A and B are shown apart, each in its own frame.
Chain A
Amino acid sequence: MIEDNNLYSPEFINRLKSGNREAFTQLVEETSSKIYNLALRMLEKEQDAEDVLQETYIKALRNISSFEGRSSVLTWLYRIATNEALMIMRKHKTSGTVVDIDQDDDEDGEGLQIVDWCCLPESEMMSKETQIKLQEAANLLSPLLKAVFLLRDVERLSGQETALILGINEDAVKTRLVRARLKLRERLTGYFSERIKMEVANE
């Protein structure tokens, strides 16, 4: 009999749930890059990302028998990993100042700069400096906003999957995604409009 080794096949899930080590090894082989990259983007530091990676699969191994299959096994792993990463981010953020992280640095996002920087040369937009600016901007987002942005816009998961992973409803995902996108756009616009001013001054 040929075994169906597709991660999403019921047969594979059953082997996983029955504690089959080969199946779990395959799961790790096929999903660990995704989990590592998500953790790295959330946390920046490689050591933190590795901690999340290990903790995710340790917890998965421990709890696999209770996996109910309401989501795909990958979404389930994302959920564990995201929660681990959020925990670390909250710990980092609160060391020093005591803040409620999920108040989402809300209402400071009133500004809406209108500068059409899409006309900038490609080399400028894709420069290393721009990339660093964007990373900095993303790191200024609250943990939850950053998680929503990464899951939706980088991992390209659906609103429904993202809601499941974060344990919030789809509307909450939507409003947070708008806020995250606006904040990133705003900071990038601030940076690019400086560049445009400089170019004009140099002409």
Chain B
Amino acid sequence: MSDQQHCKDYLTQISDFIDGDLHPQLCAQLEEHLQNCENCTIVVNTMKRTIELYRVSTEPQEIPQDVRARLFKCLYLDDFRK
């Protein structure tokens, strides 16, 4: 928390850390930093949460029947549909 600039250097690592593919050595370093840095901990938590919330906000939709029908038609595949 004492060194904002220092914290900014962690941003890329934080992103990798969230994905679970930060190099083990860097991961240990970051975890140590997180123990003492409230700001970076907040960035980790809010970044994770942002991604989760976005996923919730964009649940996959069924493709509408008429859209499907027009797709098969434009591909001349009408006859092959089950």
Q: Give the chain B neighbours of A174 by CB distance below 8 A.
A: 12, 15-16
Q: Is the CB of A28 within 8 A of B57?
A: no
Knowing A33-B62, A188-B50, the reply to whether A58 touches B74 (Cβ < 8 A) is yes
CA distance A154 to B16 in the complex (A): 16
Give A135's nearest chain B residue, CB to CB.
Answer: B57
Q: Is the CB of B60 within 8 A of A37?
A: yes
Contact indicator per residue, chain A 164-203, by CB within 8 Å of chain B (1) or not (0): 0000000000110110011011001100000000000000
Q: Give the chain A neighbours of B51 by CB distance below 8 A.
A: 153, 181, 184
Q: Is the CB of A118 within 8 A of B45?
A: yes
Contact indicator per residue, chain B 63-77, by CB within 8 Å of chain A (1) or not (0): 100011011101101
Among A75-83, A85-93, A100-108, A124-132, the stretch that binds chain B is A124-132
Q: Give the chain A neighbours of B75 by CB distance below 8 A.
A: 24, 28, 54, 57-58, 61
Q: Is the CB of A135 within 8 A of B67?
A: no
Q: Give the chain A neighbours of B46 by CB distance below 8 A.
A: 115-118, 185, 188-189
| B49: interface (CB < 8 Å) | yes
- Give the shortest distance, in Å, between B48 (CB) and chain A (any CB): 9
Interface residues on A, range: 35 or more
Q: Is the CB of A118 within 8 A of B49?
A: yes
CA distance A53 to B70 in the complex (A): 10
Contact indicator per residue, chain B 1-29, by CB within 8 Å of chain A (1) or not (0): 00000001001100110000000000000
Q: Is the CB of A25 within 8 A of B63?
A: no
Q: Give the chain A neighbours of B42 by CB distance below 8 A.
A: 114-116, 118
Give B41's nearest chain A residue, CB to CB.
Answer: A116
22 pairs from A and B in contact (CB 8 Å cutoff):
A25-B72, A28-B75, A29-B81, A29-B82, A36-B61, A36-B63, A40-B61, A50-B70, A54-B74, A57-B71, A58-B75, A116-B42, A117-B46, A118-B46, A134-B53, A153-B54, A154-B58, A175-B12, A178-B11, A182-B11, A184-B50, A188-B46
Give the A-binding residues of B (Cβ under 8 A).
8, 11-12, 15-16, 39, 42-43, 45-47, 49-51, 53-58, 60-63, 67-68, 70-72, 74-75, 77, 80-82
Pairs A-B, 3 closest by C-beta atoms: A131-B57, A25-B80, A178-B15
